[in-house]
Amino acid sequence: MDRQCAPDLLSRSKPELQARFGVTRLALFGSTARDTARSGSDVDVLVASDGPSTSKRYFGVPAGGATRAVFIPRRPGAGPSARVP
């Protein structure tokens, strides 16, 4: 997937993601956002939602423990991310 297609796909998917999971924002980052992705590259997407991120909320199954969030700071000089409105 290239940098031209990914934001369009995310924009088209966002309404359903909002309705089903409370997604409020999507941001593309990594090699696809930098337009350096290769054929085997994954697509990195940051997802923000309006509530807690729990396995019960997304998969219908309780995790059996505390939910934790992982924040990964953007590396200096890593280039801009492509935000999806």
Distance CA 53, CA 34 (A): 27
Q: pTM above 0.85?
A: no
The amino acid present at 23, given as its one-letter code, is V
Distance CA 37, CA 24 (A): 26
Q: How many domains does the chain have?
A: 1
64 lies in which domain range? Answer: 5-84
At 24-75, the pLDDT tens digits run 999 999 999 999 988 888 889 988 888 877 777 766 655 554 444 444 444 5
CATH of the domain at 48: 3.30.460
